[in-house]
Amino acid sequence: GDSVTQKQGQVTLSEDDFLFINCTYSTTTYPTLFWYVQYPGQGPQLLLKVTTANNKGISRGFEATYDKGTTSFHLQKASVQESDSAVYFCALALNSAGNKLTFGIGTRVLVRP
Partner 1 sequence: EAAVTQSPRNKVAVTGGKVTLSCNQTNNHNNMYWYRQDTGHGLRLIHYSYGAGSTEKGDIPDGYKASRPSQENFSLILELATPSQTSVYFCASGDARDWGVGRYFGAGTRLSVL
Pick the piece of the chain touching partner 1 (CB under 8 A) from 10-18, 42-50, 59-67, 75-83.
42-50
Number of residues that bind partner 1 (CB under 8 A): 22
Q: Is 99 in the site for partner 1 (CB under 8 A)?
A: yes
Distance (Å, rounded) from C-alpha 105 to C-alpha 82?
A: 22
- The count of residues in the chain is 113
Distance (Å, rounded) from C-alpha 102 to C-alpha 79?
A: 28
Tell me how far, at minimum, the Cβ of 52 lies from partner 1, in Å: 12
Distance (Å, rounded) from C-alpha 48 to C-alpha 44?
A: 12
Parallel, antiparallel, or unpaired: how do β-strands 107-112 and 10-14 relate? Answer: parallel
Fill in the DSSP letter of residue 69: T
Q: Is 105 in the site for partner 1 (CB under 8 A)?
A: yes
Taking CB under 8 A as the criterion, the residue among 41, 53, 69, 83 binding partner 1 is: 41
What is the contact surface with partner 1 in residues (CB under 8 A)? 32, 34, 41-46, 49, 51, 89, 91, 93, 98-106
